[in-house]
Chains A and B, each alone.
Chain A
Amino acid sequence: MKWMNRHSSLRARALVHEPDGWLLALLTALVTFGTLMVYSASFPDGTGEGALGVLLRQLLFVAVGATGLLIAMRIDYHRYAALAFPAMVAALLLLAALVLIPGLGTSAYGAKRWIDIGPVTFQPSELAKPVIVLYMATWMAGKRERVRSFSLGLVQFAVIMGLLIGLVMLEPDLGTSILIATIGVAIFLVAGAELVHFGILAISGSVAFLTLALSASYRRDRLLVFLNPDGDIQNLGWQLYQARLALGSGGLFGVGLGASTQKFAWLPAAHNDAIFAVVGEELGLLGCTVLLGLFVAVAYRGYRIAMRAPDALGALIAVGITTWIVFQAAFNIGGVTLAIPFTGIPLPFISAGGTSLVVAMCAMGVLLNISRQTLSDAELHPVVSRQAVTAPAPAPNMVVARQAPPQPAAAWRQDTDSLPLVTHVAAREAIPRSHTGARRVLHRRHRVERQRDDRWT
Chain B
Amino acid sequence: MSSIVRGAGSGPDNGIANNRVVVLFFVFLLFIALIGYRITAVQVVRSGELEEVARAERTDSESVPARRGEIFDARGQRLATNMPATRLSAVLAEIQDKAAFAAAIAPLIDRSAEDVLAALEQPGAAWVVLARRLNPEVTERIRALGLAGVFLDPEPSRVYPFGELASHVLGFTTYDMAGAYGLEGEYDAVVGGSAGTLVAELDGSGNIIGISPSRFAPPIDGSDLVLTIDSAVQYIIEDVLEKTIAAQGAEGGTIIVQDPRTGAILGMASRPAYDPNAFVAVDDASVFLNPAISFVYEPGSTFKSIVMAIGLDDGVVTPDTIHNDAPGYVEVPGFPPITNNNGRVWGDETMWNVLEHSTNLGAIFVAERIGRDRFYQRLTDFGIGMPTGVDLQGEEAGILTLPFTDGWNDVLFYTNAFGQGVAVTPLQLTNAVSAIVNGGRLMQPYVVAQVRHADGTTESHQPVVVRNVISERTSEQMRLMLESVVVNGTGTYAAVAGYRIGAKTGTAQVPSPDGGYIEDATIASIVGFAPVEDPRFTVLVKIDWPKESPWGETVGGPALAEVFARLFDLYGIAPSRPVEE
Contacts and interface: CB of A to CB of B under 8 A. Distances in A.
A425 B205 CA distance: 62
B343 interface: no
A66 B25 CA distance: 26
Interface in B55-93: 55, 57-58
Contacts of B15: 141, 144, 191-192, 311-312, 315, 421, 424-425
A292 B43 contact: no
A248 B49 contact: yes
Given A319-B21, A425-B14, A428-B13, A247 B203 contact: no
Given A189-B20, A315-B16, A330-B32, A280 B43 contact: yes
Contacts of A264: 58, 203-204, 209
A380 B16 contact: no
Interface in B261-316: none
Nearest to B209: A264
A247 B50 contact: yes
A190 interface: yes
Interface in B185-239: 201, 203-205, 207, 209, 211-212
Interface in B1-30: 1, 3-4, 7-8, 10-18, 20-25, 28-29
* Most chain B CB atoms below 10 A, which of A247, A289, A304, A334: A247
A285 B44 contact: yes
B54 interface: yes
A315 B20 CA distance: 12
B35 interface: yes
Interface string B237-263: 000000000000000000000000000
Contacts of B212: 261
B43 A288 contact: yes
Contact of B16 (A248, A261, A312): A312
* Most chain B CB atoms below 10 A, which of A248, A265, A334: A248
Interface residues of B, number: 53
B4 A300 contact: yes
Contact of A303 (B21, B31, B39, B205): B21
A356 interface: no
B24 A319 contact: yes
* Most chain B CB atoms below 10 A, which of A245, A295, A330, A379: A245
Nearest to A285: B43
A145 to B, nearest CB: 9
Nearest to B47: A251
B11 A247 contact: no
B96 to A, nearest CB: 33
Contacts of A315: 14-16, 21
A339 B35 contact: yes
Interface string A260-295: 011011110000000000001000110011001001
Contacts of A380: 7, 10-12
Given A312-B14, A330-B35, A379-B12, A323 B24 contact: yes
B53 interface: yes
Contacts of B122: none
A64 B567 CA distance: 97
A193 B117 CA distance: 80
Contacts, number: 185
A381 B18 CA distance: 14
Contacts of B347: none
B29 to A, nearest CB: 7
A261 B44 contact: no
B51 interface: yes
A299 B28 contact: yes
A253 B282 CA distance: 63
A266 B57 contact: yes
B457 to A, nearest CB: 41
Contacts of A242: 204
A316 interface: yes
A296 interface: yes
A44 B203 contact: yes
B46 interface: yes
Contact of B4 (A247, A262, A307, A330): A307
B42 interface: yes
Interface in A126-156: 141, 144
A247 B13 contact: no
* Most chain A CB atoms below 10 A, which of B12, B20, B43, B212: B43
Contact of B205 (A261, A265, A310): A265
A192 B17 contact: yes
B16 A334 contact: no
Contacts of B58: 261, 264, 266
B34 A310 contact: no
A300 B25 contact: yes
A201 to B, nearest CB: 14
A330 B31 contact: yes
A338 B39 CA distance: 9
A262 B55 CA distance: 10
Contacts of B7: 304, 307-308, 380
A112 interface: no
B209 A261 contact: yes
Interface in A178-218: 186, 189-192
A108 to B, nearest CB: 19
A144 B201 CA distance: 62
* Most chain B CB atoms below 10 A, which of A141, A249, A288: A249
Nearest to B46: A248
B10 A381 contact: yes
A252 interface: yes
B43 A334 contact: no
Nearest to A382: B10
A247 B17 contact: no
Contacts of A75: none
Contacts of A450: none
Contact of B51 (A248, A339, A409): A248
Contacts of B18: 307
Given A296-B29, A312-B15, A319-B24, A248 B43 contact: yes
A16 interface: no
Contacts of B35: 292, 330, 333-334, 337, 339
Given A292-B32, A311-B15, A249 B21 contact: no
B161 interface: no
A306 interface: yes
A413 interface: yes
A431 to B, nearest CB: 12
Nearest to A327: B28
B210 to A, nearest CB: 9
Contacts of B31: 327, 330, 334, 339
Given A265-B203, A295-B32, A308-B7, A245 B50 contact: yes
B16 A191 contact: yes
* Most chain A CB atoms below 10 A, which of B7, B22, B28, B29: B28
A326 interface: yes
B28 A247 contact: no
A347 to B, nearest CB: 12
B374 interface: no
A316 B29 CA distance: 20
Contacts of A295: 32
Interface of B: 1, 3-4, 7-8, 10-18, 20-25, 28-29, 31-32, 34-40, 42-44, 46-51, 53-55, 57-58, 201, 203-205, 207, 209, 211-212
13 contacts: A244-B50, A247-B39, A249-B51, A252-B44, A261-B203, A266-B54, A266-B57, A300-B4, A306-B21, A308-B11, A309-B16, A326-B28, A381-B10
Interface of A: 44, 46, 141, 144, 186, 189-192, 242, 244-252, 259, 261-262, 264-267, 280, 284-285, 288-289, 292, 295-296, 299-300, 303-304, 306-312, 314-316, 319, 323, 326-327, 330, 333-334, 337-339, 375, 379-381, 409, 413, 421, 424-425, 428
Given A190-B16, A315-B14, A379-B12, 12 more contacts: A248-B43, A249-B54, A251-B44, A251-B51, A265-B204, A284-B43, A303-B22, A307-B11, A311-B15, A315-B15, A334-B38, A339-B35
